[in-house]
Amino acid sequence: MPDKRKASMSAPSPKRLRISNEDGSDTLPSMSSHDRPRNNPIYGQKSAFPGLDDGGDELFYGPADDGLEYLRMVRSEANSLPSLFIAPIARIGTERLEADTQSDADAPELHKFPAGFFEDEAYVAPVEADKESVAATDQRFPDAQVSYYNLLRHRFLLLRSTLRCTPPATAIAALDDAHPISLPDRNTAARKEWRRLLLTVEPRMVQLACMDLDSILRVLSILARGLGENVRAGDADRIRRLGAWAWALLGKCREVGELATNQVGELRDLGKRAVKILHRMQETESKRSAEESDASDSEAGDGEEAQTEEAVPVETPSKEALGASVDQADAGLLDDTDLSAALEAAKSRLQAKLQSKAAPEVAAEVNQVDGDDLAQQARALLDMIITIVGEFFGQRDLLDAREVWGRDDAMDET
């Protein structure tokens, strides 16, 4: 038997055989340039539309007959733009801004925007607007009042710098129970004690220098709530103490940039209460002056009638005495000494009557002078609170509520 060929059990080669033609040409179909995508020479990105790059660097602006021509037209427009855009200097915009600024300056006051705005019960304004508002505010005040406000600002800055210093330990240890250095939160007994101390005890610099900001603001809230009642009480010593406490407590407060919004709101509440009390005092004074003018007119007419009525009893005793003296002289009952005694008695009665009427008028004038002095002290207290809160704590809208001094007030202050 012929030998049978054994089957080969070896594994096939992992390499694929390359099939080529006899002439060595590739058997894969050739790909035209229209279908072959190009690589971008700069970025190396392969184009998604192979036929889009056949035009080369030539620009094509249409008309587009198919989608590829439309894309070629868009690419041409993009290639015509520079790779980096530089904005020119906007001189026209600057001139327009200057023109708008000049038109705003020439515009009436009604069309101008406010210098600041309100946010959480606090008035916020830029620094330049604050300077302009101060200059505009000072123009409506007389020179004496402007000098007073300048001195008040310098004194307040000196007080603030002094209270920032640390007092010596011996001075702190010398403080008594009438000068506490703290006010705990939600402590009814402590608040009641502080309410009494504000009216009966003078503040001390060492005491205020040791107090923290939270205690200062709580004491200021107590002072603000009782300000109207204490001003209406009419006690000069009480008003003077309240002024000293308000001045010292405000000097211990931090600058407005270091305060929180709610803390600035408490200071604004104090200023608003002072403005409200000042307006009430002005209304009361205007009503009283109107009533006094009406009363003076009515008293002028009554005074003329009273003078005519009182003239009769003044002359009556003399006539009766003369008539009686004549009759009695004829009868021989009275002599000249009795006549002179009767005249002296009538004169003394008339003088006593006039003095009794003049005494209440003098007392009323003295009381009126004391009342005017008390009103001036109350106005000075309220004006100081409004000025400090407005100037140093950003509440400049409250400054418009301050009174303009008259000639008499300016002479009294100078």
In the DSSP assignment, the letter for residue 167 is: P
What are the angstrom distances between the C-alpha of 177 and each of 66, 172, 192?
Answer: 99, 12, 14
Instruction: Assess contact for 245 and 222: CB atoms under 8 A.
Output: no
d(CA 385, CA 181): 22
Sign of CA dihedral 62, 68, 70, 71: negative
pLDDT averaged over every residue in the chain: 73
* Domain ranges (residues) in the chain: 116-295+339-414
With cut-offs at 50, 70 and 90, classify the pLDDT of residue 241.
very high
Q: Is the pTM of this model over 0.85?
A: no
For residue 46, give the 3-state DSSP assignment.
Answer: strand
Instruction: Assess contact for 71 and 62: CB atoms under 8 A.
Output: no
* pLDDT over threshold 60, residue 231: yes
| Angle in degrees, CA 145, 147, 153, rounded to 5 | 105
Q: List pLDDT tens digits, range 297-320.
A: 666 666 665 565 554 454 444 545
Going by C-alpha positions, the residue among 323, 217, 314, 332 that lies closest to residue 270 is: 217
* pLDDT over threshold 50, residue 61: yes
Tell me how crowded residue 387 is: count the other CB atoms within 10 A of its CB.
Answer: 20
Predicted pLDDT at 72: 78
Going by C-alpha positions, the residue among 185, 254, 251 that lies closest to residue 222 is: 185
Predicted pLDDT at 330: 45
With cut-offs at 50, 70 and 90, classify the pLDDT of residue 244.
very high
Q: List pLDDT tens digits, range 342-363.
A: 677 777 777 776 666 555 554 4
With cut-offs at 50, 70 and 90, classify the pLDDT of residue 242.
very high
Sign of CA dihedral 347, 350, 355, 358: negative
d(CA 70, CA 21): 43
Q: Which percentage of the chain shows pLDDT scores above 90?
A: 29
| Angle in degrees, CA 151, 155, 156, rounded to 5 | 120
CATH number of 116-295+339-414: 1.20.58.1070
Q: Pull the structure tokens for residue 360.
A: 């209440």
Report, in angstroms and rounded to the nearest whole number, the Rg of the chain calculated over CA atoms.
Answer: 50
With cut-offs at 50, 70 and 90, classify the pLDDT of residue 292.
confident
Q: List pLDDT tens digits, range 252-280.
A: 999 988 899 999 999 999 999 999 999 99
Q: Which percentage of the chain shows pLDDT scores above 70?
A: 57
Q: List pLDDT tens digits, range 153-166.
A: 999 999 999 999 98
Sign of CA dihedral 331, 334, 339, 340: positive
Predicted pLDDT at 326: 39
* pLDDT over threshold 60, residue 121: yes
Q: List pLDDT tens digits, range 9-57.
A: 555 555 555 554 444 444 444 555 556 667 777 777 777 776 666 666 6
Mean predicted confidence (pLDDT) in 216-230 = 92
Greatest CA separation for the chain: 216
In the DSSP assignment, the letter for residue 324 is: H
* pLDDT over threshold 70, residue 205: yes
